[in-house]
Amino acid sequence: MEQQLNLNNKSNYTPRFIIALAGLLVFCFVAFCVMTQRTEAFDTAVDYFAYGTRAAWTKAILVPITYAGNWQFIVAVTALLIILPQTRKTIGLPMGATALVSVVVYKMLKLSFARPRPDLDLRLIWAGGYSFPSGHSMNGLVCYGVLIFLIRRSCRNKKTANWLTALLTLLILLIGWSRIFCGVHYVTDVIGGFSVGMAVLMVATILIDRFYLKEKR
């Protein structure tokens, strides 16, 4: 993969601002419903549907995938991208900065809402801390989302970029679903993580375009 900036890619910030605002509005709505205890029926229906899909083969796929949203795993991926000279400046450094912001934001939000996790007897794996929003879902969307953005900015092979985009998008969605499947989050936690994550992602791509990639051109 050739790591050279695509100089012909013009940035249009307005759609991204709109998506960021929409993400924040969705998050605020979900947070309001969670805090006023209006989500129990919806959470229960979706969560128990997910539990009903548990089988040996689904566990073998989704339990490992859920760890791809761990901050430790994302740090390892980012460190590798920073170590490699071909990806250090174009992907590794901006992804690392974005990942740091994502972790700080989701930890602050969890402490603010302090929603307990689902019951222990529903869980397939251990998870500590609070439930809302899902940090794995947020981290997955923000970090792998910005990775998609940077790949599409730096990779001249369109076919390779498209394949990586599809695979990373699938990974993002599966991380979110795996948190419900593993019994460590409610579906509204995942929706909250994805919505605020989308807002953070859009702002991050604007800042990277405006201040970081611009300097590299």
- Number of Cβ within a 10 Å radius of residue 190: 27
Q: pLDDT per residue over 138-154, tens digit each?
A: 999 999 999 999 999 88
Average pLDDT over residues 76-101: 91
Residue with tokens 């690392």: 96
Confidence of residue 12 (pLDDT cuts 50, 70, 90): confident
From 25-34, 68-77, 178-187, the region with the lowest mean pLDDT: 68-77
Integer Cα distance of 82 and 93 in angstroms: 6
**Class of 13-216 in CATH:** mainly alpha
Asked if the peptide bond before residue 133 counts as cis, ω within 30 degrees of 0, the response is: yes
* Residue of 2, 12, 13, 15 lying closest to 158 (CA atoms): 2
**CB-count exposure of residue 34 (10 Å: 0-12, 13-18, 19+):** buried
List residues bridging with 155 in a β-sheet. 3
**CB-count exposure of residue 26 (10 Å: 0-12, 13-18, 19+):** middle
Q: For residues 104 and 94, is the Cβ–Cβ distance under 8 A? A: no
List % helix, strand, coil for the chain (3-state, nearest 5): 75, 0, 25
- Number of Cβ within a 10 Å radius of residue 111: 10
Confidence of residue 9 (pLDDT cuts 50, 70, 90): very low
Q: For residues 39 and 47, is the Cβ–Cβ distance under 8 A? A: no
Q: pLDDT per residue over 194-207, tens digit each?
A: 999 999 999 999 99
- Every domain of the chain and the residues it spans: 13-216
33: which residues sit within 8 A by CB, 6+ positions away?
39, 188
Ranges assigned E (strand) in 61-173: none
- Number of Cβ within a 10 Å radius of residue 45: 11
Q: For residues 146 and 82, is the Cβ–Cβ distance under 8 A? A: no
3-state SS, residue 174: helix
For the chain, what is the mean pLDDT?
Answer: 90
In percent, the amount of the chain with pLDDT more than 70 equals: 93
